[in-house]
Structures are given as structure tokens and as C-alpha cells.
Amino acid sequence: MSFNHNASAIFTRIAQMLELTGADRFRVNAANKASRILKELTTDLEPLAQSQDSKALTAIEGLGKSTVTKLIQLATTNTISEHEELSNKIPQGLMQLLAIPGLGPKTVKLMWDELKIESIDDLKNEINKGTVADLPRMGDKTIKNITDALTFMESSGGRLHLGLAMPIANHIVEHMLAVEGTTRAQYAGSLRRGQETIGDIDILITTTNPQAARDAFTAMEPVTKILANGDTKSSIRYEISTATGRFKDLTTPDQIQIDLRIVSQESWGAALAYFTGSKEHNVALRKIAIKHNMTLNEYGLYNNADNRNDPIACESEAGIYAALGLDVVPPPMRQDRGELTNGHLPHIIELADIKADLHTHTTDSDGKLTLKESATIARNRNFHTLAITDHSQSSAIANGLKPERLQQQIKTIHDFNASFDNLTIIAGSEVDILVDGSLDYNDDLLNQLDIVVASPHAGLRAKPKQATKRLLKAIAHPAVHILGHPTGRLIQRREGLSPDMTELIAAAVQHDVALEINAHWMRLDLRDTHVRAAAEAGCKIAINCDVHHAADYDNLIFGILTAQRGWLTPDLCINTWDHDKLHTWLKSKR
């Protein structure tokens, strides 16, 4: 784990433990804020912290003197004294209790104080003994919900990848729209914001027949348990089937919770905005409403001076933002990262802007599509360019191409391109960046390629300094067009490299290299915070599907959502350029 992410995790634990001790809310908020800032930074703070450069650290927006002191302490002693002191006061089993839905810090603290519950096992035992029922606000229904949540946690195993959650949500939206009386349906929450992983799924609908909607929702075949079924909200556990197919070895939850919320037609926009979030964005939006002497909630935007209490805006999200004098914020940008304070928002990239894919694999290496099959799909998507970038020779497990095979492939691709209409197919390679930063083919062969995507595949546990040096060397190579999935991470499976992204971005700008957002939902690498830093620096970005199967072309939406979370504009994305502009740039590096 990188220094920044380790520090972020420690500050999160500090905030949680402060809550459990009943500490001042200001201290809790300060720790949470520090955690968030550290997680989003692209510059590795370890060198500054190790050198005890407090002036440079406090110059970073959001890092106060107290946070900087703790960062220096972490870098020089490998610990933060406040964290150690709190850890000595609080049984670590209490931290696990906070992960149980419905158990907040106040309740966990009450259980600890009154019943000496210090772990999940303690909680189970006290529930079985009946003592938890004696605590305030612990009725039979609440205890049953806690018991169900414990069972669910044991079976679920974690959060669901964006690419697995979205098809489920789309299916349910279609299912609900087919129900008589349903007039609108949309998923909301973290899924609509395009987060990498999803804890649960929120579905909002409007309907003239609420009972039919509730019945259709709770009677779906994959439903394993009905958690609630009230007038406006129904909750279910939904079984996830990934036992067969390409992802049979993927560690994923067995079930996910899905909530259906029935809202009025008049409040649709307000409800959709509220349940989309994020929490931080909603809080910031409500503060703006207060400054305008208004109140904003899930039912609408109200003028506080209007005794009739009729909403100023409620039917559409656009109407609410407009009434507050704001540009409509696209859902992926709703993160409280300046989207409400920067004046007019930039026009961010959209799915329809993409005109090329520059990272695809065929049956010549480890892909499942032939050259013709992949080209046909790309042409049907109205792309003007397709790059074939099979693996290089060091990727033996991926049937990487030896130099002789690559030279033959280059000829085959060029010959095929001459006979294939309405699509330009170019010969490239996803070339391994070796551990010393050199590339997997000699320069003569690299210069025969129309495009070079240089990617790290091995040595992904290197320390940040070593990783940075390795990737900087690859960026500086004159034959490289794109730095592919720079960290090599796999979400929830492999952390990958933690290079100093600020240095990589600066080098990419200097050497006119594009950094890739790998759109596969298991990678999403670059991640959104990296994209934001790159966009602010004017760095070129490529959004590629890393195609191995036909279905991988559909992963483009996940790369787009990541780009939108990073405020990427179309002009910086080379996949949006017209044919001549893209090919002029590709040839400029030859």
C-alpha cells in the first residue's frame, strides 16, 4: 500500500475511534477530511514527510498543521501516536461492529458501555441471551435486522464491481418499466455516479399502481429475501450469479441489497438528486440553498419565505440546479470536489464522443476475436480507427508475439486494412515495460509499429520510487504513444504500483504521451483522481477497452464514467479526435 493510501486508512480509523470515545465532532470531521484528501492526492507525500518538510506539506490545499505533524510522524516512526493511543483504548473488534448496517457509533458505544460487547461474536452471544433487547431503541424488529445483516455480511464477501452491478440495475429498471402503471425508473446512488465498486443498488420509480410495482419487485426470481415492503420503500436481497462464464474465479458477493423507492411524479427530480448523492455533494448543495434562504430536501427546493411551502423546483434535477444559479452537475462529478464552486463547469466527455479503440487483442495472443471479427465490431460501432495491440514476447502466459510473429502480423494487418472499408486498422503492440523500464522489443521493431502501448504486467509490488523511475523511463522512450494501465491494479484483487502520478503526468506532457484509462471494470486504471490531475495539467488521455472478448467493447461506458469523474474534456482524449488528427499525431512519433 502506498504511503498516501496507508495514511488515509489510518486517519479513517482515527475518526471512527474518536466517535466511539465520544470525542468532539470537530476532531472527527478533521480526521475524515484528512483521510479523504490523502486518498485523492496524486503526489506521493512520503518523500516530503520523511524529509520533514512541513512548509511544503502545509502548502497542499486541505492539509493543516496538525495533519502534517501526523504525516511526518508516520513517515519517520511508522506510526501516529494518536492512532496508537486510541487503539489502546478501544477493542479492535468494535471497528468490525461499525461495518454492520444499522449500527452507528452511538449504538456501538452503548453496547460497549452497557453490555461489554467488543466483537461480532460478543454481539451474537448477547443477542442469543436476549440482553441486547434491554438496550434503548432495540426492539424485536431492530434486533432481527441486525441478525439478518450479520448473516448477509458473512455471505456477501464485499462490494460489487461496477461492471457487475450495472447490468443487474439495468435489468431491474427494464423489469420495472414493464410493470403496468410504472411511468419512470432509474438507478441512483453510487452506481449512477460511476464509482468503482457498489455497496447496494437504489432504484427509483414513479407509478400509478404502487402495489403492482411492489409485487413485481419482490417477486423477481433472484430475490432471496424480502427485507422490507412498505408503501414507498421495498428492500430485497438479490442473488448474484457469477458461477459460470469468464468470471467464475472472481471473488464477488453472493448477494446484493437492492432498494426500490416509489416517489411522486412531482418530486422526481428532487428525489433522484437526493438518492444519487454523493452525501458530500448533497450537503454542499443544501448549504447553497440555505444561503439563498431556501430549503432543499428529497421532495423539492422551497423558498423559506413562502408560507404556502410550494416547491420552487422539484420535477427535474436541471430545475433545481437552475433555481440555485448553478450548472447542472453530471452525476459522476457529484463528489464535492469543486463542482459547485468553480463557476461554469467544463463540457465533459460522453460515450458518443469515442471514435476509436487503440488497445485490442486478437487470437494471435490471448484474445478470443480474430482480426476480422474485431474489425467488424469496431466498424459497426462507427469507429474510424482500430489498433491491434497483441501482447509482446515477455508475456508468455498471454502467448506474446516473438519478433518474427510480430513482423508477420504487421504485414497481415496492413494487407487486411487495404481490403476493409470504412475503418482504418493499424498495427501495434501492447509492449511490456520490463522491471528496469526498458521495452520488450528493440527500437528497430518498435519503429515498425503504427502504435505502441507500453504497459506494466510484472513486478507490480515495487516501491513507489522504483515504480516511478520505471514508468518514467518508458514514457521517455520516443516510440511510445500510450502508457497502458499505469498501476497494473485489479480492483479488490491487486493493489498494483503506486507511482508518483504528478511526475508521470508531467513527463507524459513533456514527451507527448497519452495516459490510458483502461475501461475494463476490473482495472479502471487510470483512476478518477489521476484523471482529474492529468486533465488539469493538459495531459493527453486514451480511453481503451483492452478488448479480449466481443463483450469487452461494452466496457467503454465504465471508462467514460471514470473519465467523467475526473472532469475529462473531449479535446484531451485522443479517442475522440477525427481520423486525420489522430493519425497525424500517431505518425509524429515515428
- Here the CATH number for the domain that contains residue 199 is 3.30.460.10
CATH code of the domain in which 134 resides: 1.10.150.20
Q: What is the mean pLDDT of residues 377-394?
A: 97
Q: Are residues 85 and 102 in the same domain?
A: no
Q: What is the mean pLDDT of residues 213-235?
A: 94
Going by C-alpha positions, the residue among 527, 568, 576 that lies closest to residue 345 is: 568
Residue 37: inside a domain: yes
Based on the domain organization, do 426 and 560 belong to the same domain? yes
In a domain, 342, yes or no: no
514 and 572 fall within a common domain: yes
Query: So what's the pLDDT on residue 245?
Result: 44
Q: At what angle do helices 81-89 and 3-20 cross, to 10 degrees?
A: 40
What length does the chain have? 590
Other C-beta atoms within 10 Å of 97: how many? 24
Provide the residue range defining the domain that includes 13: 3-90
Indicate whether 201 and 221 sit together in one domain: yes
CATH number at residue 312: 3.30.210.10
Residue-level pLDDT at 244: 39
Split into its structural domains, the chain has a count of 5
How confident is the model at residue 141, as a pLDDT? 82
Average pLDDT over residues 502-513: 98
Instruction: Give the pLDDT mean for 281-289.
Output: 96
pLDDT for 266 beyond 50 = yes
Average pLDDT over residues 314-322: 95
Say if residue 155's pLDDT is above 70. Answer: no
> Residue 338 falls within a domain, yes or no?
no
Q: Are residues 211 and 178 in the same domain?
A: yes
Longest CA–CA separation in the chain, Å: 80
Cβ 523 vs Cβ 546: under 8 Å:
yes
Residues 453-481 pLDDT 10s: 999 999 998 999 999 999 999 999 999 99
- Rounded CA-CA distance 242/437 in Å is 37
Q: pLDDT class for 435, splitting at 50, 70, 90?
A: very high
Question: How far, in Å, are 155, 243, 258, 334 from residue 251 at the CA level?
Answer: 12, 10, 20, 29
Structure-block grid coordinates of residue 447: 519503429
pLDDT for residue 168 is more than 70: yes
Q: What is the pTM of this model?
A: 0.82
Peptide bond connecting 429 to the previous residue in cis, omega within 30 degrees of 0: no
Same domain, 431 and 558: yes
Sign of torsion over alpha carbons 109, 127, 158, 460: positive
pLDDT at position 357 = 98
* The pLDDT of residue 251: 55
* Percent over 70 (pLDDT), the chain: 96
Indicate the DSSP class of residue 395: -
Same domain, 426 and 455: yes
Residues 579 and 436 placed together within one structural domain of the fold: yes
In terms of domains, do 436 and 291 share one? no
> Is 522 among the domain residues?
yes
Q: What is the pLDDT confidence band of residue 360, given thresholds at 50, 70 and 90?
A: very high
Residue whose C-alpha cell reads 507511482 in the numeric block: 499
Among the candidates 333, 361, 378, a domain finishes at 333
Same-domain status, 129 and 166: no
pLDDT range class, residue 32, cuts 50, 70, 90: confident
- Contact assessment for residue 300 and residue 270, using Cβ atoms and an 8 Å cutoff: yes
Q: What pLDDT does residue 153 have?
A: 66
Write the DSSP assignment of 399-454 as a string of letters. Answer: TPBPHHHHHHHHHHHHHHHHH-TT-EEEEEEEEEB-TTS-BSS-HHHHTTSSEEEE
Helix (H, G, I), strand (E, B) or coil at 373: helix
Report if residue 109 sits inside a domain. yes
Single residue among 217, 242, 262 that ends a domain in this structure: 262
Q: What band does 134 get if pLDDT is binned at 50, 70 and 90?
A: confident
pLDDT digits (tens, 9 = 90+) for 226-261: 999 999 999 999 988 754 344 544 556 778 999 999
Specify whether 192 is located in the same domain as 174.
yes
* Whether 151 and 206 share a structural domain: no
Examine the pLDDT at 184 and tell me if it is beyond 90.
yes
Indicate whether 346 belongs to any domain.
no
Average pLDDT on 85-102 reads: 83
Domain-located, residue 344: no
Q: How far apart are CA 206 and CA 74, in angstroms?
A: 51
DSSP 299-356: TEEEETT-TT--EEE-S-HHHHHHHTT-PPPPGGG-SSSSTTTSSSPP----GGG--E
In a domain, 345, yes or no: no
Q: What Å distances lie between residue 505 and 21, 460, 500, CA to CA?
A: 42, 19, 9
Of 541, 528, 522, residue with least CA distance to 42: 528
Whether residue 207 contacts residue 181, with contact meaning beta carbons closer than 8 Å, is answered with yes
Question: What is the reported pLDDT for 100?
Answer: 80
CATH number at residue 53: 1.10.150.110
Mean per-residue pLDDT over the chain, rounded: 92
